[in-house]
Structure 1
Amino acid sequence: MSTLKVEALVREFHYNGIRIPDPGPDLSVEQVRDLLTPNYPEIATASVSGPEATGSVLRYTFSRAIGTKG
């Protein structure tokens, strides 16, 4: 009989080349965005891609919105 091993994946967030650990696994991605916005204001309008599974980590990437001001 074979056994299965269940392992929870850890989330991490990336923005502009910076790896940001998950501030709270119980938070939604939108709640994480709201929490990070004071430190990274550009995240407020950034798009989110992911999750991308890399090993035992789920990676979410915030990408700046490209456009002109005004």
Structure 2
Amino acid sequence: MATTTTTKLKTTVLLREFYYNGVRIPDPGPEMTVDQVRDLLTPRFPEIATASVEGPEDTGNVLRYKFSRAIGEKG
């Protein structure tokens, strides 16, 4: 006689948060892509337009993305 085991899986939707220059920025809209979030934040933080994106980092509660300024010479 075969025994079957049923396992219940619990799914949790993780919220996103963004960081730039030490500032925590709540997710402006979960339906937005990371690039759309970048475009939305560019007027407030112009350097984000050329920043690199790190992440997502799963902290257990949220998915964390970090915008890092591009390092380079002006001119």
TM-score, structure 2 as length reference: 0.89
Q: Which residue of 1 aligns with 2:15?
A: 10
Are 1:36 and 2:41 an aligned pair? yes
CA distance in 1, matches of 2:9, 2:74: 52
The one-letter code of the counterpart of 1:32 is: V
CA distance in 2, matches of 1:57, 1:2: 25
Q: Percent identity?
A: 71
Please list every run of at least 4 consecutive aligned residues from structure 1 whose deviation after the TM superposition is greater than 6 angstroms: none
Are 1:24 and 2:29 an aligned pair? yes
The one-letter code of the counterpart of 2:31 is: D
The one-letter code of the counterpart of 1:68 is: E
Query: Structure 2: any 5+ residue segments left out of the alignment?
Result: 1-5
TM-score, structure 1 as length reference: 0.95
Query: Structure 1: any 5+ residue segments left out of the alignment?
Result: none
CA distance in 1, matches of 2:21, 2:10: 35
CA distance in 1, matches of 2:27, 2:49: 17
CA distance in 2, matches of 1:47, 1:67: 12
The one-letter code of the counterpart of 1:37 is: T
Q: Secondary structure at the match of 1:60?
A: strand
